[in-house]
């Protein structure tokens, strides 16, 4: 479907609330966003509930409602300029290398049948000096693409991978999300997958239209210029997914709600996930500036308190909206990797090329293996030349 109307015409038309109208407006507003830089800072709080909210605790009458809370920092850096230049850095809680644990300790852990928490050596590169243990910490991944090369780096990896842009498979490894997907996707999708807005809208619209023919989709107005879409899931849990789209705010998704019922239709709706997004008009485009998400215990059917088990809070700061951006941001050279990190061109999977050999951490103040090899070869040539010259002179 080709949309020629502007967002203003969409908002003032007051048409019937249809899926094509709403999703068409989302696409139109995204097309108005050509470039920008977004810095996201926030926290992710996880609570481990031992008994509170569980069916077993309520049925057996257990009273231990204690919980453990872990609050960790998360940050993102997003830059884009047209369709060919893109940058996405993600720093969030995960498993990182524990340099305080000795090789012997790791080997003993494996010998005692504990879970394998080790990094395997990278094929084609010099192996690590033993096994590596993990610990909880901040895990950072960086992804950049330009017309010539795409690059990906995990801060715990020993190499930066260079790829052909057209061959990049954006799975979890190269995970990113389109900034205007906020409010349309679940927390899991945003934090663990890759989301292209056009692909997401196409797949979601196809699903909604199919379910609409089955009578499982409702679209109605909740207030002036705000439409709500309700998708009823056909399962024994009797669940629904609702999301609100504000037409007067650039067809932006302001809320997403997943809720469930236990028992018959007279039962109370219990919220499983609740996402709220605030939007502001920046340089003529509606953009998200605040994101809050709450995830509740899905098994807390009989709980009176229903304490959240996970909360995410982000603040988004924008610059260079629809302005030209320094193209050096879209190269692996801006990743800030140490000299110990290799650079490997894997454009040709069958014949990867070592672009730069990283310096071993214990050789930071000395020469690398490659440099030593070149030096030895040069000395051999010099010695051979001098020996030959001496023999020639002695004749």
Q: Could you write out the DSSP letters of every residue in 227-285? A: EEEEEE--STT-EEEEEEEEGGGTSEEEEEEEEE--SSTTSPPEEEEEEEEEEEEETTE
Average pLDDT value for residue range 373-383: 70
pLDDT at 75: 92
Task: Report how far residue 288's alpha carbon sits from residue 304's, in angstroms, rounded to the nearest whole number.
Answer: 33
Q: Is the distance from CB of 232 to CB of 219 less than 8 angstroms?
A: no
HSE-CB of 348 using CA atoms within 13 angstroms:
5
Phi/psi zone of residue 215: left (φ > 0), alpha (ψ -120 to 50 degrees), beta? left
Domain chopping of the chain, boundaries: 7-383
Torsion sign across C-alpha atoms 321, 326, 332, 338: negative
Average pLDDT value for residue range 314-335: 95
pLDDT at 373: 58
Winning range, highest mean pLDDT, from 28-42, 124-138, 166-180, 293-307: 28-42
pLDDT tier for residue 62 given thresholds of 50, 70 and 90: very low
pLDDT digits (tens, 9 = 90+) for 266-304: 667 788 899 999 999 999 999 999 999 998 876 654 454
The mean-pLDDT minimum among 128-137, 172-181, 207-216 falls in 128-137
Stronger pLDDT, 363 or 351, i.e. the higher one: 351
Task: Report how far residue 330's alpha carbon sits from residue 145's, in angstroms, rounded to the nearest whole number.
Answer: 6
3-class secondary structure, 20:
helix
Task: Report how far residue 122's alpha carbon sits from residue 156's, in angstroms, rounded to the nearest whole number.
Answer: 12
- Alpha-carbon distances, residue 210 vs 2, 18, 19, 207 (angstroms): 21, 14, 12, 5
Task: Report how far residue 11's alpha carbon sits from residue 25's, in angstroms, rounded to the nearest whole number.
Answer: 9
């Amino acid at each position: 479907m080709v949309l020629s109307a502007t967002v203003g015409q969409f908002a003032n038309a007051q048409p019937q609330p249809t899926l094509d109208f709403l999703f068409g407006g989302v696409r139109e507003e995204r097309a108005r966003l050509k470039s920008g830089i977004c810095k996201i800072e926030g926290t992710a709080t996880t609570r481990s509930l031992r008994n509170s909210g569980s069916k077993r605790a309520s049925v057996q009458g257990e009273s231990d409602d204690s919980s453990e809370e872990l609050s960790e920092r998360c940050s993102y850096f997003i830059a884009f300029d047209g369709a060919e230049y893109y940058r996405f850095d993600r720093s969030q809680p995960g498993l990182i290398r524990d340099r305080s644990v000795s090789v012997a300790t790791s080997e003993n852990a494996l010998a005692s049948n504990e879970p394998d928490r080790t990094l395997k050596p990278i094929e084609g590169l010099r192996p690590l000096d033993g096994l590596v243990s993990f610990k909880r910490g901040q895990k950072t991944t960086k992804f950049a693409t330009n017309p010539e090369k795409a690059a990906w780096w995990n801060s715990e990896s020993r190499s930066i991978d260079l790829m052909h842009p057209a061959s990049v498979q954006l799975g979890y490894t190269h995970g990113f999300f389109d900034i205007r997907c906020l409010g349309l996707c679940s927390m899991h999708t945003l934090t663990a997958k890759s989301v292209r807005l056009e692909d997401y809208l196409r797949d979601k619209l196809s699903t909604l239209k199919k379910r609409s023919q089955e009578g499982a989709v409702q679209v109605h107005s909740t207030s002036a210029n705000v439409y709500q879409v309700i998708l009823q899931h056909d399962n024994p849990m009797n669940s629904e997914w609702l999301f609100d789209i504000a037409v007067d705010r650039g067809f932006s998704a302001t809320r997403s709600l997943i809720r469930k019922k236990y028992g018959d239709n007279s039962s109370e709706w219990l919220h499983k996930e609740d996402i709220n997004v605030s939007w502001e008009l920046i340089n003529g485009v509606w953009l998200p500036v605040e994101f809050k998400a709450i995830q509740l215990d899905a098994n807390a059917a009989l709980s009176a308190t229903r304490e959240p088990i996970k909360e995410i809070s982000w603040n988004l700061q924008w610059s260079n909206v629809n302005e030209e951006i320094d193209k050096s941001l879209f190269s692996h050279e801006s990743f800030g990797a140490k000299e110990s990190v290799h650079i490997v061109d894997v454009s040709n999977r069958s014949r990867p090329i070592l672009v730069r050999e990283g310096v071993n951490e214990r050789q930071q103040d000395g020469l690398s293996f490659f440099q030593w090899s070149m030096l030895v070869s040069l000395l051999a040539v010099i010695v051979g030349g001098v020996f030959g010259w001496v023999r020639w002179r002695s004749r």
